[in-house]
Amino acid sequence: DVLALFRITPQPGVDPVEASAAIAGESSTATWTVVWTDLLTACDLYRAKAYKVDAVPNTNDQYFAYIAYDIDLFEEGSVANLTASIIGNVFGFKAVKALRLEDMRLPVAYLKTFQGPATGVIVERERMNMFGRPFLGATVKPKLGLSGRNYGRVVYEGLKGGLDFLKDDENINSQPFMRWKERFLYSMEAVNRAIAASGEIKGHYLNVTAATMEDMYERAEFAKALGSIIIMIDLVIGYTAIQTMAVWARKNDMILHLHRAGNSTYSRQKEHGMNFRVICKWMRMAGVDHIHAGTVVGKLEGDPLMIKGFYNTLLLSHLDVNLPQGIFFEQDW
């Protein structure tokens, strides 16, 4: 079964077990009332089951609801279909005041229907000829407003100064002050000059995020033609587009980076929304090579144990239960 852990805050007067069962039903076969068409199928088999409900420690109105979903409820290899059930209508359900998806366990049989990372960290190290230390990267700043020539100048100076990678930021796409093709040309010129000056392989994450898949394909193909080894996309393009670009990246031997733009709109609240560790699992399935996973220092919120849990979720081939890191399920990848 696919297992999901929800943090449930029932409405006053609603029994937590009843609320958990309602969440299980609404996210699988049920609706707001009983319908005679339930008799046309094996509803008892297909309906999700809330198999355990525990009070959340140090709270008086929150509960952990463990829900199991039959694997046949989901289309193979589709993050979009998985999310349509797990986070579909249930977050607006009247029976709960707040609802948060904390963690999931995905069966290996289901995981094997997904492509997985387009390239992988070992191949990336071979591509960069860099072993024995972490990659060192940075983001071009200011991220908006630079001309193409000045943008390329920043890329060159950073790479010549010792960085392995520089990258576009999430919202640099193709604005009037610098169109995408101009940025790609100047950035790759800077990469090639830095390689010649340092004798090391360098790279720049070229953001191919755009309004349509056709535009993203065009930008990705141009990046490949210029000799780039890596492209990037933003989380906001959607699960189907992410999987589509991951398939393209594998077919075209490109590394694929994902910027987690927009995730905090639903991951930062502690009672409602979704934990980022779930996004980590979904994006690992979708097929990106790496994703921003947060830092303990810097401008963004980050608890050391929580961040370590994100890293482990993204990197390890087997996860054991680790409650201090927020890992509620054993997971075999």
- Annotated catalytic residues are 141, 259
Q: How far is CA 130 from the centre of its chain?
A: 26
Q: Do residues 231 and 259 make contact, with C-beta atoms less than 8 angstroms apart?
A: no
User: Are the C-beta atoms of 65 and 18 separated by less than 8 Å?
Assistant: no
Question: What HEC string does 119-171 produce?
Answer: CCHHHHHHHHCCCCCCCCEEECCCCCCCCHHHHHHHHHHHHHCCCCEEECCCC
Contact 213, 244 (CB under 8 A): yes
Number of residues in the chain: 333
State the DSSP code for 211: S
Residue in the block written with tokens 């979704």: 274
Closest alpha carbon to 219 in 252, 193, 196:
252
Structure tokens at 245: 């670009």
Where do we find the tokens 């963004």?
A: 300
Residue whose pair of structure tokens reads 């699992």 in the numeric block = 281
Q: Are 281 and 106 in contact (CB under 8 A)?
A: yes
